[in-house]
């Protein structure tokens, strides 16, 4: 009699300990599981520690249709970890953010994702870099990285663009709205249609037929100002904020 009583009590103790160790951590909820999952992906599978609980990733989905990005103005905080998804909801588009080294391309109806940490404050214009049709040059936007005080860095008053056989280099610029901006443009000998730079919405057309530098100035309103080559194949953007 006594022996079986001990066995029953022993079993209860074992079951109680088992419940505490296995059942309770699961009740921790999806948030802790998510954080651990992100942490593991982030650092190549390092063991999740207390730091995993503090890690958060900002999810941003940009929907691309013919011919715009939604949203096109994105604000993030300096130091923030961002997961950027391009969702091609209509047509085939890409997002290029040269100053952040981001290059996403997705087929029609597909999505592509990239993760990055928002570095120095500033505006990082982006554009579609897959020729998608008549409104291709309209597909622009900007990721603005703000510091804790809401500032977004310095902006130059001159942009220097080179026309090349592969398009404009650089293709994105960030400037101050309402301040005069000078565009200096020169093209390589084999630049083809990129020997001409057309600033849309203005009468500015800069030609560099033999490598010479052509210049023009304008006062940008806040927003994105696209420029294209003669055929509209190659595009760039001057983002003013
Ligand atoms: Cu496009």
- Measured CA distances, 78 to 16, 122, 140, 150, 196 (Å): 47, 9, 22, 9, 37
Domain count, the chain: 2
Residues with Cβ–ion distance below 5 A, ligand 1: 128, 132, 136, 139
Q: Are residues 166 and 104 in the same domain?
A: yes
Residue 37: predicted pLDDT? 33
Boundaries of domain holding 95? 58-240
Tell me the average pLDDT across 51-64.
80
C-alpha to C-alpha distance for 171 and 102, rounded to whole angstroms: 13
118-162 pLDDT tens trace: 988 888 999 999 999 999 999 999 999 998 887 777 778 899 999
Separation of alpha carbons 79 and 187, rounded Å: 37
Question: What is the band of 6 on the pLDDT scale with cuts at 50, 70, 90?
Answer: low
Ligand 1 mean position to 33 CA, how many Å?
38
Q: How far is the CA of 162 from the centre of ligand 1 (A)?
A: 20
In this structure, how many other beta carbons lie within 10 angstroms of the beta carbon of residue 53?
13
Q: How far apart are CA 1 and CA 3, in angstroms?
A: 5
Distance 48 CA to ligand 1 centre (A): 41
85 and 40 within one domain: no
CA of 132 to the centre of ligand 1 (A): 4
Same domain, 180 and 219: yes
Residues in the chain: 241
The domain that holds 170 is classified in CATH as 2.60.40.420
CA of 169 to the centre of ligand 1 (A): 17
User: Domain for residue 53, yes or no?
Assistant: no
Residues 22 and 138 in one domain: no
pLDDT on residue 17 = 47
Q: Tell whether 120 and 180 lie within a shared domain.
A: yes
In whole angstroms, give the CA distance from residue 217 to residue 148: 33
Distance 67 CA to ligand 1 centre (A): 7
Same-domain pairing of 26 and 67: no
Q: Is residue 14 assigned to a domain?
A: yes
Q: Give the distance (Å) from ligand 1 centre to CA of residue 224.
A: 15
Question: Which pTM was predicted?
Answer: 0.69
91 Cα–ligand 1 center, Å: 9
């Amino acid at each position: 009699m006594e022996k079986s009583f001990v066995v029953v009590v022993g079993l209860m103790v074992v079951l109680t300990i088992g419940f505490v160790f296995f059942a309770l951590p699961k009740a921790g909820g999806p948030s802790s599981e998510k954080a651990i999952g992100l942490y593991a992906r982030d650092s190549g599978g390092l063991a999740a520690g207390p730091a995993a609980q503090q890690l958060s990733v900002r999810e941003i989905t940009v929907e691309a249709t013919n011919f715009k990005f939604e949203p096109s103005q994105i604000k993030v905080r300096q130091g923030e970890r961002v997961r950027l998804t391009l969702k091609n909801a209509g047509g085939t588009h890409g997002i290029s953010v040269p100053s952040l080294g981001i290059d996403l391309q997705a087929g029609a109806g597909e999505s592509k994702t990239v993760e990055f940490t928002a570095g120095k404050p500033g505006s990082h214009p982006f554009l579609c870099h897959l020729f998608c049709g008549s409104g291709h040059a309209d597909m622009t936007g900007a990721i603005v990285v703000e510091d804790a005080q809401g500032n977004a860095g310095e902006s130059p008053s001159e942009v220097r663009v080179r026309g090349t056989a592969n398009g404009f280099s650089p293709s994105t610029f960030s400037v101050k709205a309402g301040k005069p901006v000078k565009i200096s443009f020169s093209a390589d000998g084999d630049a083809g249609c990129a020997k001409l730079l057309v600033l849309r919405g203005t009468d500015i057309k800069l030609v560099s037929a033999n490598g010479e530098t052509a210049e023009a100035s304008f006062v940008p309103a806040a927003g994105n100002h696209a420029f294209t080559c003669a055929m509209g194949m190659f595009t760039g953007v001057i983002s003013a904020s």
